[in-house]
Structure 1
Amino acid sequence: MAAPHGRGLLHLAAAVDQETVHDVSDHGELVRLAERGGFDFVTLGDTFARPEPDALAVLARIASTTTRIGLVPTVTVTHTEPFHLRAAVATLDRVSRGRAGCRIDLSDTEGGARNVGRRHAASADASEHEPEHEAWDEAWDEAGQVADLADRLWDNRAVDAGTHDDASGRPLGRDEARPAGFEGDSFPVRGLPTVPRPSQGHPVTVVDATDRRARVAAARCADVALVQGTNPAQVGAVRAELHASALAHGRDPDELRVLAALTVDLGDGERAAEPGHGGGGPRQTGQGPLYRGGPVDLAELIASWHESGAADGFHLTPAEPRRDLERLVNGTVALLQHRGLFRTFYPGSTLREHLGLTRPAKRYAVTREAP
């Protein structure tokens, strides 16, 4: 059965965060469960402000135990050297054979800043009329520069036979590259990339664009934007804004996927569908939009939002990780598959293929026959 009104199939992603769980095998079980459900990708959070396993290292370990699902760790760019970020994410893409992404985030706590010792934090809670507001805008602008630098470094490594320098035409060896020569507002990078170009060309970049100050960075560099909202009109308005901004930055808006972000609590089943919960739609909480109900009502909500054109899919955070992810896979996903709204198998092997995104061409070198 085809998706309604000519819209493409849904894209679904899930968070696999587990507070106080430090065993990689527990995370691995959740990732494999999400893969059984056909999810495009999973995300795993990370922060400098509290003790927890490094998300990128955890998903690199899990990569060998999975075959298709995308792996997207949170990477805090505020206190991370761009060169190291690029190398780590490229390595994850290599070991997962093209299934890596990175969810860009900022550090907004002074505790996190002290742990790293690079600089003070910019407060995300500052009002538009306070000095910190400008600092937060600058932090997101820097995040966009970090993502742009990563793309440049990924494109600057010659990995194919017959690749030529686009300026001189000189043949480049398999491991040759030119210095980056990148000058950001707060950092310069002039060295050579040390890791081969990722399998996907560019790993998928994910940005939470709920905060309007993050939307410029999302429109500029994101492949996937997450947007919180309690109704399709809210999410759809941000989606339209992001597409317009992407076009203004010279991008094809069709290369940006927008996913509605919800926390889902499926503990009480369909009986929890009451006004403001479940079948009545998500309600706003201090932690973001919360859906409380059952797998059937959630499938109906997802189908109706998608049909309205509000979003290309959903990023779902289980309130109770194991319980709710099992109910998502066995209930909600199965119903969406039955209605022809979600795929029953992975048609490709890379995360870009799952999302229907093209593989970026190299910007610095062209591949042709050697003279």
Structure 2
Amino acid sequence: MADSTLFLGVELAGPGIHPAAWRRADSRAEDLFTGEYWVAAVTAAETAGVDAAFLPDGFALQPGGPGVTRGRLDAVALAARVAAATHGIGLLPQAAVTHTEPFHLSKAIASLDFAALGRAGWETTVSETAAEANAFGRKGVQDSAALWHEADEALEVVTRLWDSWEDDAEIRDVGTGRFIDRDKLHYIDFAGDNFSVKGPSITPRPPQGRPIVAVRAADPASTAVAVRRADLIRITAASPAQARARRTELRSALAAAERDPDTVRVLLDLDVHLADSVETAAAEVLELDQWAAPASAPRAGTAPLRHLGTTAGLRRLLDDIAEDRIADGVVLRPLAVQSTLTRLAGLGRNPPAASSFRHRLGLPRPLSRYATAPSN
């Protein structure tokens, strides 16, 4: 049985991360724009013992093979739809900060945390392309340093807004007609290079205090923000040895930033395709590659670790990752979602118990930075 202490996430990128996944007969591509598709996918992951579902999003169309692009639904809205149908799985929609306002993001993720009874997270992303910039028409393309400086400020604003209501700000005093103790709502008074936000939030403090924040450490700028801000840091590595070295490096950086490395999970991305045999898995991926030909330009950066094979083989790999401390967890990225979800139950993991996401990660619920000391 796979080590249940290893955090296991799954990234549900529509029909799959492979651009031709929609062409498979089992893809359910015709259902992608229905709530039922996403409820079925996330509940299947929860039943299989997955700790969290990552829901990709962005402001650009997705590639679907030569001459084909696909649309997408809003990830935060999808997570809210799924929240009512699930019980223990964490829900981490991606939401970009580049062309949005942190006040709106703070409210959206706080609302999701209420809807999910404390199971919300947020994978903070940026928008790098001209197509995304042109969709808004507010500013041009920024370099990585500028994008992640803006993201760092946005995260500061969002977390301050989550803290701007003290936990007991709602008093609901019928006798005096006071619903809120205004002394326990706080202006955040943030002024930075990209945002100037007075606050306070219009949404009460989320059930977790601060929902879980995930950041992908893909380059120096994003890594610096991840080390300062993230509860979950996603990494890509070409080999287990490279992943272990990267985890060690990040733990050292966390300690240097005066954060306890044991309070942050380093999660390794693992591209995966599951079938009844290694040969079948390889043949099915080859077919997907042929459908997607002619190939687009190679993706920059590190080629991710892959597992093309059986559920039993994946279980052994997860055991090795846990035993050798290669990473604190894994995020499975199915090339074709449906074929992987139908086989994940073979990992032998128990469904996550109904609890807050923070509790499952072993993290305390933080106090509001604005909380006043109780009077004696």
2:365 counterpart residue number: 359
1:350 to 345, 353, 356: 356
Q: Secondary structure at the match of 2:272?
A: strand
Q: Which moved more, 1:111-120 or 1:240-249?
A: 240-249
RMSD, matched Cα: 2.4
1:195 counterpart residue number: 203
In the alignment, the residues of structure 1 paired with residue 80 and residue 245 of structure 2 have an alpha-carbon distance, to the nearest angstrom, of 36
Q: Is 2:176 the counterpart of 1:152?
A: no
Q: Is 2:304 the counterpart of 1:288?
A: yes
Greater RCO (CA < 8 Å, at least 6 residues apart): 2
TM-score (norm 2): 0.81
In the alignment, the residues of structure 2 paired with residue 366 and residue 98 of structure 1 have an alpha-carbon distance, to the nearest angstrom, of 24
Q: Is 2:116 the counterpart of 1:96?
A: yes
**1:167-210 alpha-carbon deviations (Å, 9 max, x no partner):** xxxxx817841211111221111122111001001100011113
Aligned AA (2:311): P
Aligned AA (1:355): L
In the alignment, the residues of structure 2 paired with residue 191 and residue 223 of structure 1 have an alpha-carbon distance, to the nearest angstrom, of 24
**1:15-39 alpha-carbon deviations (Å, 9 max, x no partner):** 1221552112101101001111121
TM-score (norm 1): 0.82
Q: How many residues align?
A: 327
1:314 counterpart residue number: 330
Unaligned runs of 5+ in 1: 123-134, 164-171, 278-284, 338-343
1:33 to 44, 47, 56: 44
Aligned AA (1:83): F
Q: Is 2:114 the counterpart of 1:106?
A: no
Contact preservation (8 Å) 1:272, 1:294: no
1:18 to 1, 14, 19: 14
How has the CA–CA distance of structure 1 residues 181 and 46 changed in structure 2, closer, same or farther, with 3 Å as cutoff?
same
Q: Secondary structure at the match of 2:343?
A: helix
In the alignment, the residues of structure 2 paired with residue 317 and residue 147 of structure 1 have an alpha-carbon distance, to the nearest angstrom, of 26
Contact preservation (8 Å) 1:157, 1:175: no
- Alignment map for 1:297-336 (pairs within 5 Å): 297-328=313-344, 330-331=345-346, 333-334=347-348
**1:54-107 alpha-carbon deviations (Å, 9 max, x no partner):** 110111111111111111100011111011111100000011110000111111
Shift of 1:310: 1.4
1:136 counterpart residue number: 144
In the alignment, the residues of structure 2 paired with residue 314 and residue 86 of structure 1 have an alpha-carbon distance, to the nearest angstrom, of 27
**1:318-339 alpha-carbon deviations (Å, 9 max, x no partner):** 11111112212x22x21xx4xx
In the alignment, the residues of structure 2 paired with residue 53 and residue 175 of structure 1 have an alpha-carbon distance, to the nearest angstrom, of 39
1:126 counterpart residue number: none
2:77 to 31, 48, 57: 57
1:116 to 136, 145, 153: 136
